[in-house]
Copies of this chain bind each other. A is one copy, B any other.
């Protein structure tokens, strides 16, 4: 038995997210379907995390077990030759048997991109949240600083979670480059919609609807209704899974 790790890049626009589901095409579904054929029997593909519908990835990680002896570069070419061009396998590596794409992950980095200008390029609009409004970036940065560290992020989780909502954000940088505003987020784990809800809430700070200090209150309230809207999926990209 071999344990194979895949590094995947994808444009999530046309997919119902990572995780296999009965009523839609998913990234896990597309790749698994090919692996089933390669293996000749059902394969379980473990993803480092579920990206939601419309969310992109520069480096998602997944792993599966195989009895086949096919070399890694042949697996890579075979998968890329069979799946759509908006999903690419960048790397295939054989790992120790105890490696698990999800349980071995120590953290993740995300990038959320805003286009602040009047017009978004037709070549890039799928990867940006178009937000042509005046923003006070300094206030956003102050608000963001309250979120860094270990906290209970219940207020930024979409549904009431059955497990602990305590997570650690190690980095939350907001950087403007011309008409583009980047939210760089790094942490040991993220609740569903957490990054997008953080972005949506900080945008309300940037527009003066919430004060910077209120971010701390919202966090401490553990009440989702206190936070802002969930920012659209198209702006979000999973950059890296840390092991």
Contact = CB atoms under 8 A, between A and B. Distances in A.
Interface of A: 9-11, 56, 80, 85-88, 90, 119-123, 125, 127
B11 A85 contact: no
Contact of A127 (B10, B11, B123): B123
Q: How many copies does the complex hold?
A: 2
A80 B118 CA distance: 10
A127 B121 CA distance: 13
Among A87, A88, A121, A122, max chain B CB count under 10 A is at A122
19 contacts: A9-B121, A9-B122, A10-B122, A11-B122, A11-B123, A56-B123, A80-B119, A85-B120, A85-B122, A85-B125, A86-B122, A86-B125, A87-B122, A88-B119, A88-B120, A88-B121, A88-B122, A90-B119, A123-B127
Nearest to A8: B122
A122 B59 CA distance: 12
Given A9-B122, A88-B119, 12 more contacts: A9-B121, A11-B123, A56-B123, A80-B119, A85-B120, A85-B122, A85-B125, A86-B125, A88-B120, A88-B121, A88-B122, A123-B127
Nearest to A77: B118
A90 B123 CA distance: 13
Contacts of A87: 122
Contacts of A11: 122-123
A120 B85 CA distance: 8
Contacts of A56: 123
A91 to B, nearest CB: 10
Contacts of A86: 122, 125
Contacts of A90: 119
A11 B127 CA distance: 14
Contacts of A125: 85-86
A12 to B, nearest CB: 9
A90 B118 CA distance: 10
Nearest to A56: B123
Nearest to A237: B123
Contacts of A120: 85, 88
A127 B119 CA distance: 20
Contacts of A80: 119
Contacts of A123: 11, 56, 127
